[in-house]
Amino acid sequence: MDKTRLEAFSDGVIAVAITLLVIDLRVPEPAHDASLAHRLGEQWPNFAAYVVSFLTIGVIWVNHHATLRRLRAVDRSILFLNLALLMTIVLLPFTTALMARYLLEDSGRTLAAAIYGGSLLLMSAVFLTMNWHLLRNRTHLLHADISPAYRRTVLSRNLIGVAPYLLATAAAFVSPYLTLAISAAVAVYFVLPGTTPDTPGEA
């Protein structure tokens, strides 16, 4: 089965998800008792959560692109695993808004942070499952130059992404700020050069 439609559909869904993140950023109403800088500063949880989630979706898009570059074709199982991944990505605008809304509240912020961390953990786990399936069980769909050593490298990098999100979810019960900080650190780590192995044959 040709992968072109899968790539186009995935890019469209991810583009919508990353765009929806900005909806929670509000233009402050003019006020005589506070400056614009102060009013914008009050929204720092929204901006912080937006940046972390934007980077996270950006990273998953880059890695998703690398995943599809390894494939010559796709089958039904990969289509459904890809749908599951897209479902977790589209959920992020909601969990991001939830995290931002409750971060400064005394009631509900622990649960909001746990849900946010859990959504990132779920996304990472589904992506790992998808890569594990195609690199272990669907090797006949891979390009010929994808070696066993390269497959092990990819899977080990995917595992690196799952563990910190598990920690970030658990950290919500200590401090929601810690959940956000760990999630930010993971995103920044994967933005750094060399953290995502290039597909063989790519320039």
> pLDDT tens digits, residue range 83-103?
999 999 999 999 999 999 999
Tokens 């998703």 appear where? 64
Residue 202, in any domain of the structure: no
Residue 37, in any domain of the structure: yes
Long-range CB pairs of 124-128 (<8 Å, 24+ gap) are 124/158, 124/161, 124/162, 124/165, 125/162, 126/81, 126/84, 126/85, 126/88, 127/60, 127/63, 127/64, 127/85, 127/158, 127/161, 128/155, 128/158, 128/159, 128/161, 128/162
3-state SS assignment for residue 31:
coil
Total length of the chain: 203
What is the pLDDT, as a whole number, of residue 190?
87
Residue 110 near residue 40, CB atoms below 8 Å: no
Residue 85, in any domain of the structure: yes
Q: Quote the domain boundaries for residue 83.
A: 4-191
Over residues 102-158, the pLDDT tens digits come to 998 989 999 999 999 999 999 999 999 998 888 877 777 777 667 777 777 777 777
3-state SS assignment for residue 193:
coil
Tell me the sheet residues that pair with 71.
142
Residue 197, in any domain of the structure: no
Question: What is the average pLDDT across 38-49?
Answer: 86
Residue 107, in any domain of the structure: yes
What is the pLDDT, as a whole number, of residue 201?
44
Neighbours of 177 (CB within 10 A): 15
Residue 198, in any domain of the structure: no
Residue 172, in any domain of the structure: yes
Question: What is the average pLDDT across 35-42?
Answer: 81
What is the pLDDT, as a whole number, of residue 134?
82
Q: Percent of the chain beyond pLDDT 70?
A: 94
Residue 200, in any domain of the structure: no
Number of structural domains (the chain) is 1
Residue 179 near residue 169, CB atoms below 8 Å: yes
